[in-house]
Amino acid sequence: MNGTVSMLRPTGGNPATRPELTDELRRAVEERAAAAREQLAAAVAEFGGEGEVTFANSFGAEDMVLTELILRLGLPIEIFTLDTGRLPAETYDLMATVEKHFEARLKIYFPDTAAVEEYVRSEGINAFYESIDLRKRCCQIRKVEPLRRALAGKKAWITGLRAAQSTTRVGLPLREADETHGLVKLNPLSDWSEQEVWGFIRIHDVPYSALHDQFYPSIGCAPCTRAIAVGEDVRAGRWWWEDPTLKECGLHVKS
């Protein structure tokens, strides 16, 4: 499966990651950040601290905003990530940077070894390119099942989802009931724009993935993520061979 993009891009890196920090943008970012801080603190007050509220961090730009907010505020919110075994090297580099930068240890969940081995032996190492069903099975093993374990016993989980990210997330609320996992799902950045996300990162000097500067606005597993071209949707680089109205890995699909 070819992951290259032939459309021309501007030289000098990705301009989206370097927004002009105008007074207007700074005000907008501070208003958004203040609201997000209130929502995070309210979650702790309502549900309890670590062990009750958890944050799913996939190390995209939005998740780095929430990492900064949670750790700088010293909120007792657990931060976990799913290591699928097929992540880009840049994601592992950022994991290490985050732990050093924030002096914090992340909780990492891995897929079941036997399930991965059975899938690869029966279907092939890159079977997810062959059909949507095989791709979803891979996501189920490497992401969905580990997420189920990560959320077990929790009362609320926090995500970095934004409504503007894709057609599958239009109308995303700040708070919703997750009936699949039997808890409350909080999306504090639901109404943030991409410019506001990057404005926050620049203002607060938050570490982020080197892939973002290489035109990867959305980052998942390495073989299922590519750079995008000028004018493409921010999620165009994820499972680019599939219908864009259906592209999700299963982590955020309602049962």
| Active site (catalytic) residues | 249
Rounded CA separation 247/255 (Å): 15
Rounded CA separation 42/167 (Å): 29
Rounded CA separation 224/3 (Å): 8
Rounded CA separation 9/213 (Å): 12
